[in-house]
Structure 1
């Protein structure tokens, strides 16, 4: 038996359309955008060597680079969208980093950014010491400021020190003043105002010295020794109502302040003061007595003369 072979009709050959690959087709310039960065410091000087990284919306690195000698950096051919710009290094020992920020990239345009790096803050350390022993003292409070503005307030702790970051706005440093507002317990306030200059990123130490309080003024309830007051000098003279008691009345101090209580007491044997001045009457009475005595003497002398003149006639 002879076998037969059946041939199927030939299929029409068709060339399939290729499927485009989005990963292999670059975006045109009109479909992409970019970011240009200009880096400066607060004084306006451009900063070279600052490093930046650009992250896409998924947190993946889309671009990175450093600013050139003109302080510029360009990221190009970026797909449109929102990116996160992160400064990795300022490239300077004097400057600090800026916070991360979002950047929007639009098709066919470059997004310009001017980034200003602040100066690094100085680290200020406050110390309060005993002016003689040098012992560190807790509880000293000072204000630190510049111009008319108080920048920060520090209080020394149990170790006698306190530290904080101090903002600096100049490459050569910022001038600050220091004023103690509260002294440690048992010490006098340090009244002079001091000053110092803090440079970017540098530590600085400020020391106030306090003297121990030496005031020995007696309390109001105590009387100074060796100098009796007016109420003490009069308290040992009994009043008619007190009899022989030598204690001063409770309001003796008030009484002692009045002018009448400071007058010296009348000597024993003198007449009691009645409130009226008897001096004119005494002087008048004395005059009358003198006149009467002079008259009596004159009459006695006249009688003797008369007797002498009559004597010879009687013999």
Structure 2
């Protein structure tokens, strides 16, 4: 689901003032300027997500500034990431300037002053996330400011390609949006580890990328009851001991991670009105459990209720 806003909904004389008010409502307090206000056009499409704000912005050349006065009037502690889809923009913050071309990504900090300049017609995806999304792993988010992740860089290409498809994927029928959002957060964390020079972090960029790949493999194999940590290690090309080290910062073992992902998918299926015709056993077997009694036991251990009671309680609330 998305919400669209456009300067075309008002007269040309009011378009730029409308845009300035709109951008402040959607993001953070900003002052905007444009050399050709009478010809200015812009659009925002906001996508419905739970873990972060995602918007696609397109429009004419203009300048947006988060000044000290704006910081005082509308404080905000979020971290933002701009992924350039078309055109060129520049971001200036903390004395550093980064130029974004098509396919590039850069982070900036809403708690500090910054300036964004779109030099011509442009289209940008903006991810706005709570600071804790990154501060749990990275000690100095500011070191990522003023550095871009080049879309031509080998390891960056699959990350940025995935992020660029998030708006379209979020609108597709049958897509598990919770998983899509979690992958997006994981990719953005990995992007920060790649873009921040000298960043103090618990794992290297290569480890972040490997962990992300491990999680993708798990999602792809949940329906296989035989899938386990040994098979995951083989598919990653590392030892079981190396796999355990890979998951050390996740505070969960690889085997427990696989089990928890199976349970979470089952829990969501029990919540889904489209799955009311499916039996609990069918749902359990769909996600790799092959024993109903065992599934009921581990589900109760994770969520405090049997699958049957969990589903019944939800049905009574509807």
Greater per-residue strand proportion: 1
Give yes or no for TM over 0.5: no
TM-score (norm 2): 0.23
Q: TM-score, normalised by structure 1?
A: 0.23
The structure number with the bigger radius of gyration is: 1
